[in-house]
Chain A
Amino acid sequence: MIDIVNLHKSFGDSHVLKGITTSFEKGKTNLIIGQSGSGKTVLMKCLLGLLIPDDGIISYDGRRFAELSGDERRNLRQDMGMVFQGSALFDSMTVEGNVMFPLEMFTNQSRSEMEDRVNFVLKRVNLVDAHKKFPSEISGGMQKRVAIARAIVMKPKYLFCDEPNSGLDPNTAILIDNLIQEITKEYDIITVVNSHDMNSVMEIGEKIIFLKNGVKEWEGTNKEIFRTDNKAITDFVYSSELFKKVRQMYQEEQD
């Protein structure tokens, strides 16, 4: 379990995270949602240790991140997989090279063992013919799949995805969402996804926290989100015309 207690982070005068307290459970897809500038990415960067919080506690299965030594942090990071918003693939390496990179860096496996593992994870994300291609030669959706393959190649305990659907068409976005959820169940890991895509909320939001102006405004599941009276979250969810109509139809059916 990942526990966050009273997390604060400021940049100069801008107080971005204001006392966030929550927890993310194993085997669940946890979503952090909110408008742009609500603090989602800052929260995720604090979780990953890329930003140091001003105050508060982040602990991974009881291990407080701030109290870990440099080596312990690096070891913990080897248990983390991260899918960046822009995929962050190494553009000087092929797809195979990108996925094999963590294995080369942190394991003593033979070349054939590494190739077997890379082939397995690339097959798992439905990429079988792209091994020798460079990131610039494949589509955005394929890049996301490579990023997911790279994130899971070391069998992580914690998977983080920063807006995995951004820039993808709706069909590909659903495929990526489903893939993330399947991997979460299959590997029984803690997955944390940053998103402002309501389709993702509907599809994979087993636990959702809603941030507004750096404050945790609401917490619940994708089923509860449509029944809440919290104005901030209903304004966010129903900012789309499509969802407004769906809600109207749902209410008409209920009446």
Chain B
Amino acid sequence: MNYLSDIGSYAIMVREVFKKPTKWPIMRNLILKEIDELIFGSLGIIIFISIFIGGVVAIQTALNLTNPLIPKNLIGFATRQSVILEFAPTFTSIIMAGKVGSYITSSIGTMRVTEQIDALEVMGVNSLNYLVFPKIIAMLFYPFIVAIAMYVGIFGGWIANVLGAHSSSAEFVEGLKLDFISFHVTYSFIKSVVFAFIIATIPSFHGYYMKGGALDVGKASTVAFVWTSVAIIILNFILTQLLLG
């Protein structure tokens, strides 16, 4: 029953976020600050992880190609498909749930513990709009990160393939072009927009409604990460079934 109650509270929170908007000049600054923090602040780790994951996918595919009848361009093909369909939108979102989600929960949770949210409410500010709306808007730029993760992941696969001499560069590139379906990129971006909303709102919910002290901020961050990941995985399945099934 608690889960149902939490889902209801989450829905009410999301509705409140869009009520009584904060003045635009203030909101604009908040959005720019959040884009800097949530999007540009995550680029480094996403690029770093993407390049290695792309490399690992290429190596593992290559090592499983023991049958000489299977063309070598499959390495590029498998890397492209893995990175575009799953790694870039889903795996990156799990990483973002940890990095960005814990930041959101802890920053809002700390404001709750130190009565800063009460201060906003007493002033007559819609604290949910002030705190959560800029994060949602900033996370709309998340597909930009996913696009970078796609490029860098495939590039990592190409480097690993060429340096490991699993196939030639031309064969890898040929595999990348093989049976390319542009809708797969669209599918990936649709998923990333949905995941962006989840990454912005579930950690906000756990931070905003947390109770207790500093220790509980840490616990709330952990719980937020778990539930954000669960939501991403479930929605990944549903969206895949709806869009590709």
Contacts and interface: CB of A to CB of B under 8 A. Distances in A.
B124 A78 contact: yes
A59 to B, nearest CB: 18
B15 interface: no
B123 A78 contact: yes
Interface residues on B, range: 10 to 19
A190 interface: no
Interface string A98-128: 0001101110000000000000000000000
Contact of A106 (B25, B114, B118, B124): B124
Interface in B115-144: 115-116, 118-119, 121-125
Interface string B83-126: 00000000000000000000000000000001110110111110
Contacts of A77: 121-124
Contacts of A7: none
A70 B125 CA distance: 11
Contacts of A70: 20
Interface stretch (A82-90, A169-177, A218-226): A82-90
A48 interface: yes
A80 B122 contact: yes
Nearest to B33: A92
Contacts of A48: 118, 122
Given A70-B20, A82-B118, 10 more contacts: A49-B121, A50-B118, A73-B124, A77-B122, A77-B123, A80-B123, A84-B115, A84-B118, A86-B115, A90-B119
Chain A to chain B: the 5 pairs with minimum beta-carbon distance, closest first? A77-B124, A74-B124, A88-B115, A88-B119, A82-B122
Interface of A: 48-50, 70, 73-78, 80, 82, 84-86, 88-91, 101-102, 104-106, 160
